[in-house]
């Protein structure tokens, strides 16, 4: 046993030194590489902080706000859905704090703080009531926005999200996140590498955009990034989500591996007369793999009086 312990410690120490001192070798990218076409963006200042926003579509169209999930900046998550919605609607995306090109705001925060950030950005760009589409963590932020700033939310679309998205015991989830953060401090490349390979393998991102995706996945600050995960872990809207008085659509990927469909259906049942659309055989990356179906469900919901 002692020999095994010494060997394990030596291997761990060697790995740690390699990650600290060795080069970061990117994946191989095949063929001509490019970024997906999409709107340019700009930052807006709200109080002490800056947030990065993109806008697309006719200014006269119904304003639609897209809120992204954890791990991906807004355009990386919405780049396949955004063009479909922007044909007839004014679409706005925001990089939430700690993501993309928005400020890395340090310290503990809650999902409610993300909602307040969003309301401040809407003030800064001069938008009043908007249709809010939230995906995963963005769906939690959308719930808090509808609760804390109800005058801003015309309609609500919750996709691949839940009122209580963490399914294992919260203490276990916290322990996993603490370990994940520690490993990411030592090696910030390994998890993005796994995610990158997975998204390409399932066709979520085209091979010609592989280099762009790699840079998007690496554009993060480990500590700020994990603060978002801890906020997700603490989020629980079940006591109040049923009191939201706003037309709501819930889009549920039936094979979601991160937020089980059962939790998403339970959330829809708590809401007052929410519509439900299920994306058969879709997983959590449905925003990329099932972009046509997702956009069609949103557009159909917006077309209703």
Mean pLDDT score, 270-287: 96
The pLDDT, as a whole number, for residue 187 is: 87
Cα distance between residue 234 and residue 258, in whole Å: 16
The pLDDT, as a whole number, for residue 245 is: 93
The pLDDT, as a whole number, for residue 9 is: 58
Decide the pairing of beta strands 63-67 and 90-94: parallel
Structural domains of the chain sorted by starting position, each given as residue range(s) with its CATH number in brackets: 34-303 (3.40.50.1820)
Decide the pairing of beta strands 275-279 and 49-56: unpaired
Residue with tokens 């629980």: 236
**Greater model confidence, 66 or 3:** 66
Contact 80, 107 (CB under 8 A): no
Of 215, 190, 175, nearest to 16 (Cα)? 190
The pLDDT, as a whole number, for residue 15 is: 57
pLDDT in tens, 140-173: 999 999 999 999 999 999 999 999 987 778 888 8
pLDDT in tens, 9-40: 566 566 566 566 666 777 889 889 999 999 99
pLDDT in tens, 89-123: 999 999 999 999 999 999 999 999 999 999 999 99
> Which residues contact residue 11 at a Cβ distance below 8 angstroms, ignoring those fewer than 6 apart?
none
Contact 176, 134 (CB under 8 A): no
pLDDT in tens, 227-273: 999 999 999 999 999 999 999 999 999 999 999 999 999 999 999 88
pLDDT in tens, 169-203: 888 888 989 999 998 888 888 889 999 999 999 99
Taken in order 15, 18, 19, 20, is the CA torsion positive or negative?
positive
Decide the pairing of beta strands 49-56 and 90-94: antiparallel
Q: Worst-scoring range by mean pLDDT, 6-15, 45-54, 56-65, 232-241?
A: 6-15
The pLDDT, as a whole number, for residue 304 is: 83
pLDDT in tens, 130-141: 999 999 999 999
């Amino acid at each position: 046993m002692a020999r095994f312990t010494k060997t394990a410690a030596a291997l761990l120490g060697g790995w740690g030194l390699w990650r600290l001192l060795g080069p970061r070798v990117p994946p191989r990218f095949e063929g001509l590489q490019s970024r997906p076409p999409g709107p340019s963006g700009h930052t807006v200042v709200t109080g002490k902080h800056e947030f990065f926003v993109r806008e697309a579509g006719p200014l006269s169209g119904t304003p639609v706000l897209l809120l992204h999930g954890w791990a991906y900046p807004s355009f990386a998550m919405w780049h396949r859905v955004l063009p479909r919605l922007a044909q007839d609607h004014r679409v706005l995306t925001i990089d939430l704090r700690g993501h993309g090109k928005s400020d890395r705001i340090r310290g503990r925060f809650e999902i409610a703080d993300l909602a307040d950030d969003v309301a401040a950005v809407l003030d800064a760009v001069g938008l009043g009531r908007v249709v809010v589409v939230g995906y995963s963590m963005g769906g939690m932020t959308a719930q808090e926005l509808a609760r804390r700033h109800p005058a801003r939310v015309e309609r609500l679309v919750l996709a691949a999200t839940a009122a209580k998205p963490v399914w294992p015991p919260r203490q276990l989830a916290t322990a996993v996140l603490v370990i994940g953060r520690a490993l990411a401090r030592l090696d910030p490349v390994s998890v993005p590498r796994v995610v990158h390979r997975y998204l390409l393998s399932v066709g979520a991102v085209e091979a010609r955009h592989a280099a762009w995706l790699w840079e998007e996945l690496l554009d993060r600050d480990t500590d700020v990034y994990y603060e978002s995960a801890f906020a997700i872990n603490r989020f629980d809207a079940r006591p109040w989500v049923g009191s939201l008085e706003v037309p709501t659509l819930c889009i549920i990927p039936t094979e979601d591996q991160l937020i089980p469909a059962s939790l998403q259906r339970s959330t829809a049942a708590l809401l007052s007369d929410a519509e439900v659309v299920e994306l058969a055989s879709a997983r959590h990356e449905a925003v990329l793999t099932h972009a046509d179906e997702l956009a069609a469900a949103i557009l159909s919901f917006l077309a209703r009086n």
